[in-house]
Amino acid sequence: MNQSLIDYTLNLADNSLILGQRNSEWCGHGPVLEQDIAITNISLDLIGQARNFYQYAATLIGNDATEDSLAYLRKEEEFKNCILVEQPKGDWAQTILRQFFFSQYQYLLFQQLQNSKDEQLAAIAEKSLKEVTYHLRWSSEWVIRLGDGTDESHQRMIKAIDELWKYTDEFFSATSYELRAASNGSGVDISKLKEPWMNKIKEIFSEATLTIPGKTLIQTSGKEGKHSGHLGNILTELQYMQRTYPGCDW
153 binds another protein (CB under 8 A): yes
Among 60, 74, 88, 91, binds another protein (CB under 8 A): 91
- CA dihedral (13, 14, 17, 23) positive or negative: negative
Locate all alpha helices (DSSP H) within 114-217, ordered by sequence.
119-147, 151-164, 176-183, 194-207
Please tell me the distance from the alpha carbon of residue 145 to that of residue 154, in angstroms, as a whole number.
9
Nearer to another protein, 27 or 218 (CB): 27
203 binds another protein (CB under 8 A): no
**Interface with another protein includes 197 (CB under 8 A)?**
no
Judge contact between 9 and 121, C-beta under 8 A.
yes
Regarding 41 and contact with another protein (CB under 8 A), the answer is: yes
CA proximity to 162, closest of 105, 119, 218, 116: 218
CA 190, 192, 198, 204 torsion-angle sign: negative
Which of residues 4, 15, 43, 168 is near another protein by CB under 8 A? 43
Q: Which of 152, 162, 195, 203 forms a contact with another protein (CB under 8 A)?
A: 152
88 Cβ contact partners less than 8 Å away, ≥ 6 residues apart:
22, 94, 230
CB of residue 28 to another protein, shortest distance in Å: 4
Whole-angstrom Cα distance, residue 224 to residue 145?
35
Q: Which stretch binds another protein (CB under 8 A): 1-9, 40-48, 120-128, 217-225?
A: 40-48
Residue 64 interacts with another protein (CB under 8 A): yes or no: no
Asked if 31 is part of the footprint of another protein (rule: CB under 8 A), the reply reads: yes
* Total residues interacting with another protein, rule: CB under 8 A: 53
Query: Is residue 28 helix, strand or coil?
Result: coil
| Binders in 159-188 for another protein, by CB under 8 A | none
Which is closer to another protein, CB of 6 or CB of 181? 6
Under the binding rule (CB under 8 A), the answer on residue 207 touching another protein is no
Q: Is 133 in the site for another protein (CB under 8 A)?
A: no
d(CA 101, CA 98) in angstroms, rounded, equals 5
Residues 94-123 that bind another protein (CB under 8 A): none
Please state at what angle helix 151-164 crosses helix 119-147, rounded to 10 degrees. 140
Q: Closer to another protein at the Cβ: 43 or 120?
A: 43
Helical pair 92-113 and 3-24, crossing angle rounded to 10 deg: 150
Select 137 or 192, whichever has its Cβ closest to another protein.
137
Report the interface residues with another protein, using CB under 8 A.
Answer: 17, 21, 24-25, 27-38, 40-41, 43-44, 47-48, 50-51, 54, 67-68, 71-72, 91-92, 137-138, 141, 144-146, 148-150, 152-153, 156, 237-238, 240-242, 245, 247-250
